Amino acid sequence: MTEVNPYAAPQADPGKIETNAPFQGAPSPYGPWRKTKWLSNLVTGLFLILILCYVAKLVLFSTYISRIGNVGFDWFASEEGERIVANEEILVPVSQALTVLIIIFWLIWTNKSCKNAWLIAGRRGYFHPKSTFTPGWAAGWYFVPVALLWKPFQAIAFMRDASQKSQPSENSTQMGNLLGFWWTFWITNNILSKLAQRSIDNVETPDSFVSALYFNSIVTGISIIAAIAAILVARRLTKIQYERAHEFKLPETNLH
């Protein structure tokens, strides 16, 4: 008869382990490591160009406010007015094209980074069923009305928690409060941008146009902050995942 030591540390009962739960060292259901550093760099570059476009918009808004505040709508018929408007007509489609490219590559980066998060989570035994997101839905929630207000944030939060170390160390990168900062400005920017466009559409007098331009200038400043925060999120999460990939010596990983 086997004696039981009442003072021994409790041992896990193998029969109570969930057979469908990932275990430490388990492979990811979404395949091997995906290289995301080039996507992070590409998204960064596109955002930086978009930020330059935002700065150019602020310069245009400043010119409009100065001229129309003094001359009125007649200024648009002047040589300077026609030149400034022509510059804006170039700037607007460029900004729109950059936005479309950023959306495309941000979603690709999100999908691949989520797959890497699952791979890292399997290696470290991280598993929280209620907070996991599939790579498809990590990108797909951006297109679901109402849910897009919080689900994409939760998906990135899952990727962060699955990837970074639970206990920070001197040599490990952490997200900190960056995610909340980014999402606050991202949502605020999306809401205010629609109001800013509506304020321009409802302009009737020079004074109302100037007021609308002031409001649009504030919103553009928020857009710049949101873009910078998005750059930091992409680059920091990518750095965290590559640090963990190096730590776990994941195969097919190009860390250079």
| Predicted structure pTM score | 0.84
Q: How far, in Å, are 56, 62, 72, 205 from residue 79 at the CA level?
A: 19, 17, 15, 21
Contact 210, 65 (CB under 8 A): yes
Residue 245 CB-density burial (10 A; 0-12 exposed, 13-18 middle, 19+ buried): buried
pLDDT attached to residue 110: 97
Cβ within 8 Å of residue 175, ≥6 positions away: 160, 164, 233, 236, 237, 240
Angle at 66 between CA 60 and CA 70, to 5 degrees: 140
Count Cβ atoms below 10 Å from residue 246 Cβ, excluding itself: 11
Q: Tell me, what's the pLDDT at 171?
A: 66
Measure the CA–CA gap between 173 and 160, rounded to whole angstroms: 11
- Residue 109: the pLDDT is 98
Distance from C-alpha of 145 to C-alpha of 143, rounded to nearest angstrom: 6
- CA contacts within 13 A on the Cβ side of 60: 21
Distance (Å, whole) CA 99 – CA 189: 14
Alpha carbon distance 191, 211 (integer Å): 18
Q: How far apart are CA 28 and CA 252, in angstroms?
A: 14
Structure tokens at 101: 């490219």
The residues spanned by each domain of the chain are 32-248
- Alpha-carbon torsion (191, 214, 230, 43), positive or negative: positive
- Closest alpha carbon to 233 in 33, 47, 32, 34: 47
Looking at the chain, the number of H-run helices and the number of E-run strands are 6, 0
| Spatial CA neighbour of 243 closest among 107, 110, 108, 124 | 124
Enter the tokens of residue 135.
């790579």
């409060």: which residue's tokens? 177
Count of beta carbons in the 10 Å neighbourhood of residue 29:
12
Per-residue pLDDT for the chain (256 aa), expressed as one digit of tens each? 445 444 343 343 333 323 333 444 556 788 888 999 999 999 999 999 999 999 999 999 999 999 998 889 999 999 999 999 999 999 999 999 999 999 999 999 999 999 999 988 887 666 555 567 999 999 999 999 999 999 999 999 999 988 887 666 656 788 889 999 999 999 999 999 999 999 999 999 999 999 999 999 999 999 999 999 999 999 999 999 999 888 877 765 444 4
What phi and psi, each to the nearest 5 degrees, are found at residue 249? 55, 50
Distance CA 101, CA 139 (A): 15
